[in-house]
Amino acid sequence: MAERMVYDGYKDAGYEYLIIDDCWSFYYRSQGKLIADPRRFPRGMKFVAHEVHYRGLKLGIYTDIGTQTCAGFPGSFGYYKADAETFAEWGVDYIKVDGCSADPKQMDDLYTELGQAIRSTGRDIVYSCEWPLYQQKAGITPNYKNISKTCNTWRNYDDIGYSWDSIYGAVEYEAANQDILTEVSGPGAWTDPDAIVVGNYGLTIEQQRLQMAFWAVMAAPMIMSNDLRSIDKESKELILNKYIIAVNQDPLGKMGRRLSKINNTDVWTRWVSPKLPDGRMSMAVLVHNANAFGGPMRVVLGISDLGLDSAAGYQVNDLVHDNALVGVFYPHQSIIVTVPPLDIFFFKATVNQA
C-alpha cells in the first residue's frame, strides 16, 4: 500500500501517513512490552516503520486507552509510559487511541496522562484521540477546550460506514456543535469526523464528492480508508483533486461552518487564503442539495450575505471541475447556482487586490 501511495501520486498530493489500525499486535505482551503479530509482521514494527520512512511516508499505529483494544488485543492502560516509549523507539509518527474498554468518566484523566507520556518521549508524534466520541455516547458533554489542548485530532462521532447516512450523520454532528468546534479547532488541533471512504462501494460519485468537499470545508484530517490497488479512475481523480485538497490544507487553518440550511439545502463557508493586508480573506463555499428526490435546487447566494465585502470583488472558481472560472463578483451581486439532488456546488471566492 505504501508503494501505491508513492507511485500513484497520493504522496505528492499530500497524503503522507500510512496508518495501521487494530489487530496489528500479538495477543500478549512480552516482558511488559507490546509486540507485533509475528505472522503478519515477522520483522517487527520497527522494520515496517523503516520501510515506510524509506518511501518518504510516515507510520501511524493504533492502541486503546483502556485494557483492551476493540478487537480484544492488549490496550495501553497501566502501560502508558512504556507504550509511548515503545512507539517512539519503533519510529511511529502517529498514534490513534481508541476507547473501547475504558470508562468515559475517566477519559479526561486517562487521555491527558497518555498525551503527557507521548510528549515526554521527545518524538514528534500526532496524538489522535477518541475521547469525545465515547463521552458523548455516554451522555457526557466533552470539554473540547481541554481536548484540543491535549490531542492533535479528536473523533466526535460514530465510525464512518460505506453509506451516505453514515457520512451525513457525522456532518450533522459537526454542524450542531460548530460554535465550540470552530473555537477550538486550528493548527495542531483538528476535529476529526473519521475517514474518507471515497472509492468504496455504497456511495455514488456525487456522494463521494460530497464527502471530499465537506471534509475540506471542516478542515478535517483527510485519511483514506480504501484499497488503492483497486480504486476506480473517477474516485482516484477525486481523491487527488488538488483544488479541494488545497482548501482542506489551507494555511489559515480555520474550520468552516454551516451558514444556513433552507429547504434541505446547506450552505457552508470557510475563510481561506489569500488574505489581504487589510484583513479581508478569501472564502470556500459549499452548497449541498440534501434532497434525495425531485429536481435540481436553484440557490441564490448574495456575495455580501456570505460576508464578502471587498469592493475590489472576488474571482470565483469551481473547485470540483478543474478550478474552472465562474466569473468575477462584487458585494452587490449574487451567484445563482443549480444543484442536482444529493450533489454539490463547491467554489472558492478569491479576494482581488484593491
In the predicted structure, residue 47 carries a pLDDT above the cut 80 = yes
Written as one string, the DSSP assignment of 73-125 is: SB--TT-HHHHHHHHHHHT--EEEEE-TTS-GGGHHHHHHHHHHHHHHT-S--
Report d(CA 282, CA 240) in Å as an integer: 22
As annotated, the active-site residues are: 98, 159
pLDDT computed for residue 287 by the predictor: 98
Residues whose CB falls within 8 Å of the CB of residue 10, separated by 6 or more in sequence, listed in order: 4, 224, 228, 239, 240
pLDDT tens digits for 36-46?
A: 999 999 999 99
In the predicted structure, residue 93 carries a pLDDT above the cut 80 = yes
Residue 225: which of 45, 42, 37, 15 has the closest Cα?
A: 15
pLDDT computed for residue 205 by the predictor: 94
pLDDT tens digits for 191-224?
A: 999 999 999 988 999 999 999 999 999 999 999 9
SS (H, E, C) 122-134: CCCCEEEECHHHH
Report d(CA 100, CA 296) in Å as an integer: 43
pLDDT computed for residue 234 by the predictor: 97
pLDDT computed for residue 201 by the predictor: 87
Residue 217: which of 266, 264, 145, 158 has the closest Cα?
A: 266
- Greatest alpha-carbon span in the chain: 70
Residue 120: which of 128, 112, 129 has the closest Cα?
A: 112
Average confidence score pLDDT of the chain: 97
Percent of the chain with pLDDT strictly greater than 70: 100
pLDDT band at 107 (very low <50, low <70, confident <90, very high): very high
CA torsion, points 76, 102, 171, 237, in degrees to nearest 10?
A: 20
CA torsion, points 336, 342, 343, 349, in degrees to nearest 10?
A: 60
Report d(CA 264, CA 213) in Å as an integer: 17
What average pLDDT does range 112-135 have in this prediction? 98
Report d(CA 239, CA 9) in Å as an integer: 10
Domains of the chain: 2-248 (3.20.20.70), 257-351 (2.60.40.1180)
pLDDT computed for residue 11 by the predictor: 98
What average pLDDT does range 165-170 have in this prediction? 94
Which residues are paired to 269 by β-bridges? 257, 285
Report d(CA 95, CA 82) in Å as an integer: 14
User: Which one-letter DSSP state was computed for residue 160?
Assistant: P
Report d(CA 65, CA 76) in Å as an integer: 6
Please confirm whether the linkage preceding 274 is cis (ω < 30° from 0). yes
Helices vs strands, H then E, count in the chain: 12, 14
pLDDT computed for residue 259 by the predictor: 98
What average pLDDT does range 231-257 have in this prediction? 98
Give the CA count within 13 Å in the CB-facing half-sphere of 314: 33
Sheet containing strand 94-98, edge to edge, reads: 17-19, 58-64, 94-98, 126-129, 153-155, 190-192
pTM (2 d.p.):
0.96
Element (H, E) at 165: helix 164-176
pLDDT computed for residue 262 by the predictor: 92
pLDDT tens digits for 273-318?
A: 999 999 999 999 999 999 988 999 999 999 999 999 999 999 999 9
In the predicted structure, residue 97 carries a pLDDT above the cut 90 = yes
pLDDT band at 125 (very low <50, low <70, confident <90, very high): very high
**Amino acid at position 65, single letter:** I
pLDDT computed for residue 302 by the predictor: 98
pLDDT band at 119 (very low <50, low <70, confident <90, very high): very high
In angstroms, the first-to-last Cα distance of the chain is 47
pLDDT computed for residue 202 by the predictor: 87
In the predicted structure, residue 325 carries a pLDDT above the cut 80 = yes
